[in-house]
Structure 1
Amino acid sequence: MDLFESELRVIEAAEELAATLGADDNHTVAAAAMDTSGVIHRAVNVYHFTGGPCAEFVVMGVAATAGAGPLVTMAAAGDGGRGLIPPCGRCRQAMLDLHPDVMVAVPGEWKPQLRPIRKLLPDTFFHPEANARRMLRFNKSYYGDVASGVKTTTIRYDDPVAVGPALFMFEDDEEHRTLEGAVTAVEHYRLDQLTPEQARLAPEASLAGLRQGLQRHYPDMPAEAHVSVVTFVLES
């Protein structure tokens, strides 16, 4: 899938900062991270033989200092024209614990790719006391329906959602609008056995239309996929 314009800006910010490096061997990697307000935070690594932090660690601290909430997108780039680089294992674990819904830019065969942080650490350990704030992502076209309370259900594939408070974030929204809410239930069904009642379909909607829409959003989803029916509410 093509990257959103906002995601490309994060990658560009990391690469632009990396291009200024090279004169000091203690600072060789740049990172950029966008928060839910659309602000892009930037930082560089601090090498030291005692274990100085990677650029991703530093940019998480910079974002926290600025009062940013959950991070939406993260990218890192190396000096000397190395371009986009994936995070190390330590950074992946920290991002998973502190920003479990962040999308991370990694180099692809032909162009950059965005991966959920959990995909970069399969079968990983989750810190039990991390207590990170969760996000629930929506296509920006759904903002009106979610904000008005018309839409209270979403169906996800290979996208784990936890019950509890969440910040509703609308991808690539020019105004970077968010809503406070909570996930109240997550139910799991096989897509080819899903009923209209289980999917919470409106009377005018059809299962065929639902499946077609999901297939467009998840091109690799098999017909017998297990999907999650997520019910949510807005905070009053």
Structure 2
Amino acid sequence: MGENGFPLPASARELTDDEWALVEVARRAIDENTDAEPDGDGVHTMGAAVMAADHRMYAGVNLYHFTGGPCAELVALSAARAQGARQIVCIVAVGNHGRGVVGPCGRDRQVFLDYHPTMRVLVPTPYGPRSVRAVDLMPLAQRWTSESGTGPFDPSVYDDPEASGPQTVRFHPRYLDAVRSGAKTRTTRWGEAVTTGPARFVFESDPEVVLSATVTDVRGCTVAELTDEDARAEDLTTADDLRAALGTHYPAIGPADAVDVVTFRVDPDR
């Protein structure tokens, strides 16, 4: 329930800094490319942006057509896929000329449920934009898959895998071999909550690969304080190599930003 009694899904929360940054990416995409005058019609009036599990962001704009041109959200999802993203964690649409965050249409909500049910969707509410899980935008819905079509109602789709069982730590698939072999025993994270204990390591391949692991230590430091030892534990050579690698995952990261150096071991039988 919201602040003034307006019902919100249990998953609703305020936006994180990364989610606000995603809103800005979507806003720029449409403000720089709209063909409509203020209060006027046009072909391109909505922008959208999606964030992948590695924090990279991808944008798109809608393509209106009377036959049913694609919404901006679907264009952004396709653009992300075309550029190698496999696990999408958040999406937002923004209207042109300062209209702000706009909620997805019914068709898009069904697409989200079918393809990205645990993805977060940024939506407008009476309390300002909020982040909710995609499944919570479609109560009592039935999912469709390319293999079996529309299935029966399955309440388990509303279970949040991130909220039960071992914590989930996501990796780019290029790290799979190094993690499996033991060449990589640390991962450096910015703005992600990782704690010691059991974990599910999810590699964003297609299909995704999941390894059982244990986080044995979490050490906080700044990017500038990372060491050559940290780099070697990540299958790199020097701290500068590690900082450069972090920049590919977190383009906005700086030397003074605080990161967590996560040490782990993987179940050798997995």
Q: 2:126 aligns with which of 101, 109, 113?
A: 109
Aligned to 2:252: none
2:26 is the alignment partner of 1:9: no
SS at match of 2:144: coil
Matched AA of 1:8: W
Aligned to 2:194: 142
Q: TM-score, normalised by structure 1?
A: 0.59
Q: Deviation string for 1:163-212 (max 9, x for gaps)?
A: xx98379xxxxxxxx98337xxxxxxxxxxxxxxxxxxxxxxxxxxxxxx
2:75 is the alignment partner of 1:58: yes
Deviation at 1:64, TM superposition (A): 0.7
Aligned to 1:151: 198
SS at match of 2:143: coil
2:94 is the alignment partner of 1:47: no
Matched AA of 2:27: E
Is contact 1:35-1:70 (8 Å) kept?
A: yes
Runs (5+) with no aligned partner, structure 1 = 153-164, 170-177, 183-232
Deviation at 1:76, TM superposition (A): 0.2
2:105 is the alignment partner of 1:88: yes
Is contact 2:14-2:129 (8 Å) kept?
A: no
**How far apart, in 1, do the equivalents of 2:95 and 2:14 lie?**
23
Q: 1:167 aligns with which of 198, 202, 208?
A: 202
Sort the Cα spacing of 1:130 and 1:27 in 2 relative to 1 into closer, same or farther, 3 A.
farther
Is contact 1:136-1:167 (8 Å) kept?
A: no
**How far apart, in 2, do the equivalents of 1:61 and 1:117 lie?**
17
Matched AA of 2:122: A
**How far apart, in 2, do the equivalents of 1:112 and 1:179 lie?**
33
Matched AA of 1:181: L
**How far apart, in 2, do the equivalents of 1:125 and 1:136 lie?**
19
Sort the Cα spacing of 1:92 and 1:113 in 2 relative to 1 into closer, same or farther, 3 A.
same
Aligned to 1:36: 53
Matched AA of 1:56: E
**How far apart, in 1, do the equivalents of 2:102 and 2:138 lie?**
16
Q: Deviation string for 1:97-132 (max 9, x for gaps)?
A: 11111100001223210110111111112014369x
SS at match of 2:92: strand
Structure with max Cα Rg: 2
Sort the Cα spacing of 1:179 and 1:4 in 2 relative to 1 into closer, same or farther, 3 A.
farther
Q: TM-score, normalised by structure 2?
A: 0.52
Q: After the TM superposition, which residues 190-229 of structure 1 pair with which residues of structure 2 at under 5 Å, given as runs?
A: none
2:107 is the alignment partner of 1:72: no
Runs of 4+ in 1 over 6 A off after TM superposition: none
Sort the Cα spacing of 1:125 and 1:28 in 2 relative to 1 into closer, same or farther, 3 A.
same
